[in-house]
Amino acid sequence: MNSSIGEAIFRNQKCPICKENTLNLTQKEYEIEFYGPAILLTAFCENCKFTYRDVLLLTSSEPSAMKLKVTSEELNATVVKSSTATILIPELKAKITPGPASEGYITTVEGILNRIEEAAWLMLSSLKGLKKEKCVKFLEKLQKAKKGGEEFNLIIKDPYGKSIIIPKKGKVVKRKLSKREIKKLMKVFKFE
């Protein structure tokens, strides 16, 4: 990220969870290197501690899938993940799917791995037997990837095209999502 352009703060807004006027919203506009303008939204309720974050890229793009071959040099590549994006790491059999409360964020490839690791550690305590063994092996493989000892592919599929990967040296392969892929990704947002 290059620089902050502007900021707007809205205090004492009505919280969608507790309905109190204790929600503070912050909207910061940034210029993202090699990409363009983006808005970071954050909300925090002082009463119930509800938190929400999202990243909105202001340039238009088509629904897309992008892939980066991650080597040790690319662990610090920048990732802008929108709230609608799905992240896949096939070699680790890892998948992050958006839900109704999904957040967008700006991080690095290593930051994505840290999020996956945190979720795996939370699950580990409730697992038993073979599932626990598989989770431990997954965490070992994840540690190797975090240290740059295992190459893998980072894939982001975004039905709105609002996510990006900014590599350090490698090349991001980008393609348009098919109508079938878009429909499958959009199922997450249907409430019946």
* 137-184: pLDDT as tens digits: 999 999 999 999 999 999 999 998 889 999 999 899 999 999 999 888
Q: Which residue has the tokens 């092996």?
A: 137
Cα-based distances in Å from 175 to 64, 122, 159, 172: 6, 34, 12, 10
Identify whether residues 126 and 91 lie together within a single domain. Answer: yes
**Exposed, middle or buried: residue 133 (CB in 10 Å: 0-12, 13-18, 19+)?**
exposed
Last residue of a domain, one of 14, 37, 58: 58
Identify whether residues 142 and 132 lie together within a single domain. Answer: yes
Specify the CATH number for the domain of residue 163. Answer: 2.60.120.1040
**Exposed, middle or buried: residue 31 (CB in 10 Å: 0-12, 13-18, 19+)?**
middle
Kindly state the DSSP code that residue 151 receives in the 8-state scheme: -
Identify whether residues 50 and 74 lie together within a single domain. Answer: no
User: Residue 144's domain spans which residues?
Assistant: 60-192
Identify whether residues 122 and 67 lie together within a single domain. Answer: yes
Average pLDDT over residues 74-85: 92
In 55-162, which residue ranges form alpha helices assigned H by DSSP? 109-124, 129-146
Identify whether residues 126 and 173 lie together within a single domain. Answer: yes
Q: Tell me the longest C-alpha to C-alpha distance in the chain.
A: 52
Cα-trace Rg, the chain:
18
Check if the beta carbon of residue 45 is closer than 8 Å to that of residue 144: no
Tens-digit pLDDT profile for residues 92-150: 999 999 887 788 888 999 999 999 999 999 999 899 999 999 999 999 999 999 999 99
Looking at residue 128, its amino acid is K
Tell me, what's the pLDDT at 192?
A: 37
Specify the CATH number for the domain of residue 4. Answer: 2.20.25
Question: Among residues 41, 61, 49, which one has the least CA distance to residue 23?
Answer: 49
Length of the chain: 192
Identify whether residues 98 and 187 lie together within a single domain. Answer: yes
Looking at residue 37, its amino acid is P
Q: Is the pLDDT of residue 60 over 80?
A: no
